[in-house]
Chains A and B, each alone.
Chain A
Amino acid sequence: MTGATAAVRSEAVAGPAPRRSGPLLELRDVEASYGPYRALFGVSFTVPEGSAVALVGSNGAGKSTVARVISGLVRASAGVVRYEGRDITRWPAWRIARAGVAHAPEGRSVFASLTVEENLLLAARALGGARVEGEALDRAFGEFGRLAEHRRQLAGTLSGGEQRMLSLAKAMVVAPRLLVVDEVSLGLAPAVVDEVFGLLRAIRRRGTSLLMVEQHLDQVLSMADRAVVLVRGRVAAEGEVADVQPAIARLLPARPARPEPEGVDPSAPQQPGGDPGWPEVE
């Protein structure tokens, strides 16, 4: 299995052999905005080769934006993204994808008007080339048995959980060097969540590094070896999971097991307006 994966990968990665010195991925002082709304205020962290990094934070902290900046969907307005030592900040998304960075975005990110098979075929051919597509598809259907049952069904007609599966399968179809998964467990039944994390462990064993954006803290922290905590567009803590645990407990308090006395809700935001929203660009 590992040999097949390596063969598929070598098809996809063109050009000179990557430099082996630094981390696989490095973000330095990355800033990003959506029009007038600023999402990231200088984010820096690294993903070492072969590691699994958890990117955690509350809603609106900028986690998905970090994932989008890495894969080239959103352009950083300042700062540098380095992959294999190369500056990929200005690269178009397709070039980053072909270099081996896969991104499974949050939500039902599948081509609804294509069949399950066509979804996978599209990615396999564009990323791996026509020669490996058959092999890559067989492997994907082997791993995601549920999708194999719906091979010729339109992806838009799959259930929500199956669409998440397909989105992940699409990102993994040609084994990437770095897989960025955004909220992979969202909307999945607990048993399916376990299954998905099992798949992520398997792909990691085959040599893919992982960056996991996740709200499901227990699951993701149990399999990650590093964690990055984002708070309102800034990195609040970064390091080995064990070292970061106290910061996570402080910054992202878990819901209390027992209801608090009436009128006091510690998980409620401090500002009366609810969601603090995007900070403004100056």
Chain B
Amino acid sequence: MALFFSYLLPGIPYGCAYALMAAGLVLTYRASGVFNLAFGAQAYVSALLFSIAVQHGWPVWAAFVMAVVLASPALGLAMERLLFRYTRTSGPLVKLVPALGLLIAIPSVTQMIIGTATRLPSPLVLQPWQVYFHIASTAVSGEELSTTVVTVVVVGALAVVMRSRAVGLRMRSVVESPRMAELAGVRADRTSAGAWALSSLFAGLAGVLLAPIYSQVSSSDFTALLVAAIAAAAIGGFESLPLTLAGGIGLGVAQELIAGYLPSGSILSSGLRPAFPFAVLAVALVARRTFRRGAARDPMASCDPPAPAFRPPARMTEVAVGSRVFSAVVASLLVAATLALVPGNWEFVFTFGIVLSIVFLSITLLTGMGGQISLCQATFAGAGALTAGQLAMHAVPIGLGILLGGVLAAALGAVVALPTLRLGGIAVGLLTLSFALLADNVLFLYPWSGNGASGLTVPRPQVGGVSFAGSSAFFWLALGFLVVLGVAVKLLQGGTTGRELAALRGSERAAAAVGIDVRRLRIVAFTLSAAIAGVGGALYGSLVQSISPNDFNYQFSLVYVVVVAAVGVYSVAGAVEAGVLYAVLMQLVSTMSGRFSSLLALIFGLAALTYVRHPEGVVAYGKSWVLDRAEQLTRHLQRGAGRPGGLATVGGRRRQHSGTGS
């Protein structure tokens, strides 16, 4: 019994921190419909500010007020005012991408501005390491005690407030339709701003309370914490606070019990403990009715201007031809420069960009064309790479291994698609995220899969007498794969499947109503997308030749979605631009000092914030802007040359339907 308690009790403070974060998540979700993944980043910022202030000799209470009571709600209010206020009537992808961008950007900004804190002293209420009493001969420290008490009190208070008809009703009405709530006299802006400030306070509190548990303040710790919190929130169905609290504490306790009772050192115990929250999350998502497809749409959505066109508008012939020629010239120059001019490391950069473009194509297909949110594309890429590596060890030619990597990833994609079939929007994203984390922490660690931290080697291919071992030869190989897959995706987009996917993206119910087998289509989309990602991942493995599962962890999945969404998720060109841009910027940033190592995340994180205004992507928007000007100029020149205004009228008419550029 004493042993049992010695495992159980340390789990409670962990669980309380999960519950605290989860309560904040539920609050923002219920008040603004945003699943605030940036929550982990907010907790990180508060913990960092708190520890730095304490290190600089502030009294603890002052540091607490500054970091938790002032800074965190201020950050939350800024996020609501500048960003999420405009996503209230948008779809799940528009709500998710900026949150992901913030999750990635906020830690980089803080790191750049205030540096990193090494160790967190936190004598918040009670002395953290002092033992106050024993339960069944297990010591209870001040830190554990204060975490537990604070959590139960605060979450309980929140539950009471939400139960009250006034506040709870207002919040639920605002999340369903802010406009209709205003018609009923509710101040929608104030309600959602209040919810954001309050939930940010929770994030800050969780960050500061939890800091002593993790010896070093690292943003990835807080992301893992976030996932456990999501699992707790999912247990409560994103609705019930008491269930959320119970779920969070249960999770923390169960993790410690697993760690205690399973034989230590085995992969089962070291893998199961971190994987446990993700398994719970997956089960909760699939089991709870709240996450079923077909969430209510805002009946007042038609008050907003129509969404911008996803397809680029039809252009005047002169401009269309001109832009094609221009793109072709730029692309050829890049290829020629890679082969002839640039130094060796830049040749690697461009090859890497091309390989990355292939992985990004999988996001174009699944998210851009099909409207499905996947946060495990890097895992699919990893599956492809690891398959190629394993097969190479068993003397299978690597060229074949790359293709088989795609096949295995495709199978994995179909398997992942199955449990998501009943889910809609954000829940699909969360389920894929839990799969990615499962792969990171368990699946990829076995000798027969990713071989843990030591990883695998993937040779360069040799087909017949032609060797692709040289960097130029490999560049051509990667380019060949990109062209073939890019053309394939483009053909798919123009064909029946592409139109069905577009229908799926528009409205799943309407797609089903015109006779599309929505379930089959979703499986097909996931399978094809995973296959492309797998081939891309295998090529990446062959490019760098030595890989480990860590090259494909969930953070890459998040970053990939953010990068592609920021640059342009709706076109094949967008994927290629995103891949090359990412590789080039990464190389540029790597030449700077260490403080700017996270500049890349910051750039794309901030770019993702524009997704609310420009879902077509900043680069696509920029191109469209330039082409609009080019059309105006062409028309002007033609008028100057005394040609009749016929073309100009046609151009003007076209813009009427495009909906962009004004």
Contacts and interface: CB of A to CB of B under 8 A. Distances in A.
A118 to B, nearest CB: 6
A217 interface: no
B328 to A, nearest CB: 31
Contact of B296 (A102, A113, A118): A113
Given A36-B656, A111-B177, A112-B176, A105 B299 contact: yes
Contact of B179 (A73, A114, A280): A73
B636 interface: no
Given A34-B304, A93-B179, A113-B296, A125 B173 contact: no
Contacts of B179: 73, 93
B264 to A, nearest CB: 47
Interface residues of B, number: 30
A234 to B, nearest CB: 19
10 contacts: A34-B306, A36-B305, A73-B303, A93-B179, A93-B182, A94-B182, A109-B180, A109-B300, A118-B165, A126-B186
Interface string A160-187: 0000000000110000000000000000
Contact residues of A: prevailing secondary structure: mixed
Interface in A84-100: 92-94, 97-98
Interface string A264-282: 0000000000000000110
Interface string B645-662: 000000010001001001
Contacts of A74: 303
B183 A111 contact: no
Contact of A122 (B170, B187, B303, B659): B170
A121 B169 contact: yes
Contact of A109 (B165, B186, B299): B299
B166 interface: yes
Contacts, number: 98
Contacts of A111: 172-173, 176-177, 180-181
Interface of B: 165-166, 169-170, 172-173, 176-177, 179-189, 296, 299-300, 303-306, 652, 656, 659, 662
B182 to A, nearest CB: 4
Interface of A: 33-37, 68, 71-74, 92-94, 97-98, 102-103, 105, 107-114, 118, 121-123, 125-127, 130, 156, 170-171, 280-281
Contacts of A72: 182
A122 B184 contact: yes
Nearest to B308: A35
Given A68-B303, A109-B299, A121 B165 contact: yes
B257 to A, nearest CB: 37
Contacts of B182: 72-73, 92-94, 97
A68 to B, nearest CB: 6
Contacts of B305: 33-37
A123 B185 CA distance: 6
Nearest to A120: B184
B656 A113 contact: no
- Of A37, A118, A122, most buried by chain B (CB within 10 Å of CB) is A122
B172 A114 contact: yes
A103 B166 contact: no
Contacts of A121: 165, 169
A97 B185 CA distance: 5
Contacts of A108: 299
A208 B496 CA distance: 55
Contact of B306 (A35, A98, A122): A35
Nearest to B182: A93
B364 to A, nearest CB: 26
- Of B180, B181, B296, most buried by chain A (CB within 10 Å of CB) is B180
B244 to A, nearest CB: 18
Given A92-B182, A94-B182, A107-B299, 14 more contacts: A34-B305, A37-B306, A74-B303, A92-B187, A93-B179, A94-B181, A97-B183, A111-B181, A114-B169, A121-B169, A122-B173, A122-B181, A125-B165, A280-B652
A102 B184 CA distance: 8
A110 B299 CA distance: 8
Nearest to A71: B183
Nearest to A109: B299
Contacts of B172: 111, 113-114
A120 to B, nearest CB: 9
A136 B179 CA distance: 22
A94 B662 contact: no
Contacts of A94: 181-182, 185-188
A13 B644 CA distance: 61
A98 B180 contact: no
Given A35-B305, A97-B185, A111-B180, A280 B296 contact: no
B171 to A, nearest CB: 11
